[in-house]
Chains A and B, each alone.
Chain A
Amino acid sequence: MKNLIYLFIISFVLPLNAKSELKIDITRGNTEPIPVAILKFNYKNKIEEQVSRDINKVVSNNLQRSGLFSVLPERLFLDNYLRFESKPSFPDWKLTTAQGLIHGRLIVDKNNLKIEFRLWDVFSEKQMVAQQLTTETSNWRRIAHVISDIIYKRITGESGYFDSRIVYISESGPKSNRKKRLAIIDQDGENHKFLTDGSYMALTPRFSPAAQEVAYLSYNNKIPRIFILDLNTGFQKILGDFPGMTFSPRYSPDGKKLVMSLARNGNTDIFEMNLKTQKLNRLTKYNGIDTAPSYSPDGDFITFESDRSGSQKIYVMNLKTKNIKRISFGKGKYATPVWSPRGDLIAFTKFMGGEFYIGVMYTDGKGERVVYKSYLVEGPTWSPNGRVLSFYSQSKLSKGKVSPPKIKLIDLTGVNLRQLITPSDGSDPSWSGLLP
């Protein structure tokens, strides 16, 4: 009986209380960078002031260069100082249009540097990050990169890429006697170093995602060999002698294997090598050219280019079932596919109508998109977070001349293009993971 009464009341009341809420879908927005304000970290003496300035500059440059943030100039600030313990005056900061506010303090004690910083969401009036970092004072640049990565991750949701390096081939000299040396540089163009002396040619360097190691192809005494260079010790080892030509070695995600293509009797196939046992495992067997393999981040698949359909196209192989599936069907020749570290996209080079393109597509071949085109562009490599692509390009000059190769970086959206400033010409970039 009681239940009946309740049912009666509910059936009587619910229609009265029912509200029809207005639903509006927002499918567009602006793609402008997020405005952020970065205050100089609080300091107490001149040494700390210099470190504060330097860190502010590196963090600002990193965020600005990413294309996702626009760092507001100091002249827009109503106040250039904010105590680390204080809550910002949000109405004042809203006037500057800043959506994020970064401030902090640092203490230099002999050779130790302690940094505390906060990130505020100005519009929501919430603290997003509060962290303390300590290191040696000489390491201030890396700590600035780490701070940039923390801010980037907190706002975009994905890990940053600022604390990373790019290994590349530095080129110098005339065409007839071109010197190709292995070199390394921070992603922001700082801390450049040559890794080989130029007495032999170095090609196609690849960073190990698991260790500070670089595998590269060398033509020492005209014999192609794969070398592995330990960046911490400087020690190099030869990864065995391979009969015939060897191309494009690439590490597995755990760094325990290398996948490469070997040419034997005019036939190029893909092989996997266990770095511990140095045993080769053949992955493809086809009377044509299978080359440029790259692992998926889970290590279960590889993508590679092949001419098995009559023209260069991109394929994906399931390493467990050995099933091969073609994924590129567009016009033109597709080459050098590279799986994104976040697993959703494959970057590639495409040649069509006398021009080269750098593009991306989903791993099933859908959603093909061009992010850059030029007279010659090649060798895409992903930033550790899969958000930025680096490659090298050459443009056509007057009288049939071609410009020297330069390394470029572009955001996945294809909007934010910049050149990596290197001491000489550069090609074949390979991006490291985040530094340990």
Chain B
Amino acid sequence: MTKGLLKSFLLHFGVLFLFLYGAEIFKKNKRFEIYEIPLDIVDISEKTVNKIDNIKKKNKQKKISKKEYFSPPVVRSKPKPPEFAVKEKKKDKVNTKEEKEKEKEPQKKKDKKRMESILKSIEKVKTANKSNDESKKDDEDIINEKEEVKNVKLGEKLTISEKDAIRRQFYRCWIVPAGAKNLKDLIVTVKIKVNEEGEVYSSKLVNKSQLKDPFYRAASESAMRAVNHPECKKLKVPKKKYETWKDIILEFDPSQSLN
């Protein structure tokens, strides 16, 4: 009786486990799809490698030289202040020193008080700045956290502007098959999986059965090129809403491209 119960429990647990996590856990890393190519792959000769390396090195050097060009100029000598201006100031000071000292005696006390208050306020500002500098990162983190908390509180769904940001990103990457026949029938759906960094690591066509039609095949390839485009490999998405955008269904609709 107990054995039967145990077997039944294990079996049901197994079924439950499969439903929860799916059979994908048994598969190996699915990030990369390997395509068979009817080719004998030949090692690239050393010369070719060297060529590419050299070009890359040259490019790096060029970049470095460009950086030097844009770096701020080094100060070698400071310009001397104009002499006449200094003299005039000194003369003025000498002439008026005694007269002013007498006149300013009562004022000095006021000034001292003012100075002290100013100094105090400066010190306060300094300490405040210091603490600001030190805690700037912490503050930013706190603000971010607050925003994140707000975001989370606002709900798991992406806002319209967040969705638009993703849309706009794909507008740049997708070359529309404009002028193709029956554009209304060329709507391509692609399912993408995105990691927490916003990087697309898997993309799959949904309507593979239509690939026999050369027009649909071309349209679907253009959509896949958009998904694999370097500028669309990393999506602009809010990190804290990962659960919302880790699986995205993209629907490429060229029917409005000529409007």
Cβ of B171: which chain A residues have Cβ within 8 Å of it? 26, 28-30
Q: Is the CB of A17 within 8 A of B20?
A: yes
Nearest 10 pairs of A and B residues by beta carbon: A157-B218, A29-B174, A29-B176, A123-B228, A157-B215, A13-B19, A157-B214, A25-B251, A412-B179, A23-B249
A344: CB under 8 A from chain B?
yes
A125: CB under 8 A from chain B?
yes
Q: A22-B249, A28-B256, A158-B214 are in contact. Are A130 and B38 (CB under 8 A)?
A: yes
Q: Is the CB of A123 within 8 A of B225?
A: yes
Q: Is the CB of A21 within 8 A of B247?
A: yes
Q: A21-B249, A156-B180 are in contact. Are A27 and B225 (CB under 8 A)?
A: no
Q: Is the CB of A79 within 8 A of B48?
A: yes
Q: How far is the CA of A94 from the CA of B167 in the complex (A)?
A: 22
Cβ of B149: which chain A residues have Cβ within 8 Å of it? none
Q: A410-429 vs B: 1/0 string, CB under 8 Å?
A: 01110000000000000000
Q: A24-B249, A86-B44, A124-B225 are in contact. Are A153 and B214 (CB under 8 A)?
A: yes
Cβ of B41: which chain A residues have Cβ within 8 Å of it? 85-87
Question: What are 12 A-B contacts defined by CB distance under 8 Å?
Answer: A9-B12, A17-B22, A19-B247, A21-B248, A26-B226, A29-B254, A86-B41, A87-B37, A87-B41, A99-B225, A124-B224, A411-B179
* Max count, chain A CB within 10 A of own CB: residue among B39, B171, B219, B256: B39
Please give the distance in Å from A59's CB to the nearest CB on chain B.
19
A321: CB under 8 A from chain B?
no
Give the size category of B's interface with A.
Answer: 35 or more
Q: How far is the CA of A19 from the CA of B219 in the complex (A)?
A: 28
Please give the distance in Å from B149's CB to the nearest CB on chain A.
22
Chain A interface residue count, Cβ-Cβ cutoff 8 angstroms: 54
Please give the distance in Å from B171's CB to the nearest CB on chain A.
5
Q: How far is the CA of A9 from the CA of B17 in the complex (A)?
A: 11
| A-B contacts at CB below 8 angstroms, number | 156
Instruction: Please tell me which one of the listed residues B178, B228, B244, B249 contacts residue A31 in the complex, with CB atoms under 8 A apart.
Output: B178
Interface residues of A in 378-424 (CB under 8 A from B): 386-387, 411-413
Cβ of B15: which chain A residues have Cβ within 8 Å of it? 9
B258: CB under 8 A from chain A?
yes
Q: Return the chain B residue nearest A412 by Cβ.
A: B179
Q: How far is the CA of A27 from the CA of B171 in the complex (A)?
A: 8
Instruction: Please tell me which one of the listed residues A26, A31, A99, A413 contacts residue B251 in the complex, with CB atoms under 8 A apart.
Output: A26
A242: CB under 8 A from chain B?
no
Cβ of A86: which chain B residues have Cβ within 8 Å of it? 39, 41-42, 44
Instruction: Please tell me which one of the listed residues A87, A123, A154, A157 contacts residue B177 in the complex, with CB atoms under 8 A apart.
Output: A157
Cβ of A19: which chain B residues have Cβ within 8 Å of it? 247
